[in-house]
Structure 1
Amino acid sequence: MGKRPAAVDLATWLIWLQVVAGLVVCVLVVVLRDDLEEAWSPGRTGDSTVQPLDFVPVILVLYGVVAVTALTLIPLLRSGHNWARHALALISVSILLSTLATVRTMPPPLFRGLIIAAAVMSAVTLVFLWHPDARRHCREAADLDRADVRP
């Protein structure tokens, strides 16, 4: 197989950037937990026994699962597995949808800016993952695999 197209390399770098940006957001969630709790918890009354949910462990576990999955799929995309390209596109779509849903909850301004940046990065990643050159790269790799299997 020839040289890998620029669309695949750019998509790979953007996925790495998403993983790093997710780590930064996780650190900020832990550090600024009180600000987020204040923004996301309903108003508490004096006699309420309802305790706010602790969202930090959920966010950290979710980040860990998504980051490990994405980092595992990157080499498979680079070697031309089309299913890995689609799986990474699904991860990017999920990030895009979750960021858009989170913006509606009116988080603190710092998080709002990071969330909008993550949404833009996910959309651009999708463009490169669905670029015709990326599709061609995966198709050529599949054709080479089929040629190797034949006796």
Structure 2
Amino acid sequence: MGKRPAAIDLASWLLWIQVLAGLVVSVLVVIFREDLREAWSPGASGDSTVQPLEFVPVILVLYGVIALTTLTLIPMMRSGHNWSRHALAMIEVGILIATIATVRTMPPAVFRGLIIVAAVLAAVTLVFIWHPESRRHCRELEAAADGADDEVEVVDLSDAEDPATSS
């Protein structure tokens, strides 16, 4: 097996950066929760019984699930599992869609810049995940693993004599 391609290493680094950036954004969501509540809650009238949305727990759980899934899949992609590369690509597509949808809600100015940076980072990461070198890396390692499986000799014991009954 040769050296791991630069596209895989770059995608891994970008994924780690995204996990850390997601942590920063999650902390900012907690800090600026009132500003976000004003931006995302429906307009309140004096006699309305509609309660403001409580979105902070949802965002924190969503971050935790995506971050842990990403951190679990990165080593698998690096070791050549093509399915993990596709799973990471789907996470990146989800982040891209979520960032575009969030920008349309006109969040506070603090978040607009971070959201745009996250969208660009997700798009660039997607390019490296789907780069031909990444694909070739996964295919070569899968082929090598299949070759190693073919070398294992299977012994059929159904026709063998039972040592306990042969005496």
**Is the shorter-chain TM-score for this pair beyond 0.5, marking a shared fold?**
yes
Q: Which residue of 2 aligns with 1:77?
A: 77
Task: Give the Å deviation of 1:70.
Answer: 0.2
Task: Give the Å deviation of 1:58.
Answer: 0.2
TM-score relative to the length of structure 2: 0.90
Q: Which residue of 1 aligns with 2:14?
A: 14
Partner deviation per Cα, 1:28-48 (whole Å, 9 max, x = no partner)? 000000000011111101111
Q: Secondary structure at the match of 2:106?
A: coil
Partner deviation per Cα, 1:5-64 (whole Å, 9 max, x = no partner)? 000000000000110010000000000000000111111011111101100000000000
2:79 aligned with 1:60, yes or no? no
Q: Which of 1 and 2 has higher RCO (CA within 8 Å, sep 6+)?
A: 1
Q: Which runs of 5+ in 2 are unaligned?
A: 152-167
Inter-partner Cα distance in structure 2 for 1:47 and 1:130: 53
Q: Which residue of 2 aligns with 1:135?
A: 135
Q: Which runs of 5+ in 1 are unaligned?
A: none
Inter-partner Cα distance in structure 2 for 1:30 and 1:109: 16
The percentage of aligned residue pairs carrying the same residue is: 71
Moved over 4 A (4+): none
Q: Which amino acid aligns with 1:54?
A: E
Inter-partner Cα distance in structure 2 for 1:3 and 1:29: 41
Task: Give the Å deviation of 1:132.
Answer: 0.3
Structure showing greater radius of gyration is 2
Task: Give the Å deviation of 1:146.
Answer: 0.6
Q: Which residue of 1 aligns with 2:51?
A: 51
**Bigger proportion of residues as helix:** 1
Inter-partner Cα distance in structure 2 for 1:74 and 1:130: 14
Q: How many residues were matched structurally? A: 151
Q: Secondary structure at the match of 1:75?
A: helix
Q: Which residue of 2 aligns with 1:26?
A: 26
RMSD of equivalent CA atoms? 0.5
Superposition map of 1:37-48 within 5 A = 37-48=37-48
